[in-house]
Amino acid sequence: MTKDVTRIGIIGSAGRMGNALQAAIVAAGHDFAGGIDKGGDPLALAKASDVLVDFSAPGALEFNLDAAIHAGIPIVIGTTGLEERHHWLVDAAAVSIPVLQTGNTSLGVTLLSHLVKEAAQRLGEDWDIEIVETHHRMKVDAPSGTALLLGEAAAKGRGVHLADEAVRGRDGITGARKAGTIGFAALRGGSVAGDHSVHFLADNERLTFSHLAENRGIFAKGAVRAAEWLLDRDAGRYTMPDVLGL
């Protein structure tokens, strides 16, 4: 982790997450290089920064990656709701610059995903996996990026592709649960910053891993930690487990 003062720019600086990021940058002893939102100039911000942190929207990702590439600086992407084509863009950018993309920047969630992968690998298919997440009423995507991250961890532990095994919501006469599937349930309401539980259920016993986010400060702190770590890396695609050495 670098000890030097770093200029960190925020894409998606308005609102509660943007404010939390600014506070975390200052608390870590770095310089807030500025922030932009919809209609802002990502290239100008990139040129004024040592590293970018992007918590904006999927539709802006291509422009933000291009700005980081042209300025030759790393970028941390915490934007959720990404589709397959967005991941192609991240892969392409990672040829030129360091890119860290994650569905959750919390250090606790990062460790949780590691534990979920280990459990899925060791327990076997006779343990059903169900992921339940709760977020505030204003969240626009479901399942959450964190829930999908945890689902990916479980799928990797089992050596399968999440897209082949995911069940996103159930309604009506669905029939018996298919062995090996990974279920998702999303709850929305209130001002919940983010609660996630991964349930492993077998005959006569259950194991649950949970993470409860009390405020957005944990995501901001983790994003700054990721930005610090990313500065010294070669071009490539990285994840939060890399930051913790997992």
Question: HEC states along the chain?
Answer: CCCCCCEEEEECCCHHHHHHHHHHHHHCCCEEEEEECCCCCHHHHHHCCCEEEECCCHHHHHHHHHHHHHHCCCEEECCCCCCHHHHHHHHHHCCCCEEEECCCCCHHHHHHHHHHHHHHHHHCCCCEEEEEEEECCCCCCCCCHHHHHHHHHHHHHHCCCHHHHEEECCCCCCCCCCCCCEEEEEEECCCCCEEEEEEEEECCEEEEEEEEECCCHHHHHHHHHHHHHHCCCCCEEECHHHHHCC
User: Could you confirm whether 135 is annotated as catalytic?
Assistant: yes
Catalytic residue among 114, 139, 156, 199: 139
Q: Which of 30, 86, 135, 211 is catalytic?
A: 135
**What are the residue numbers of the active site?**
135, 139
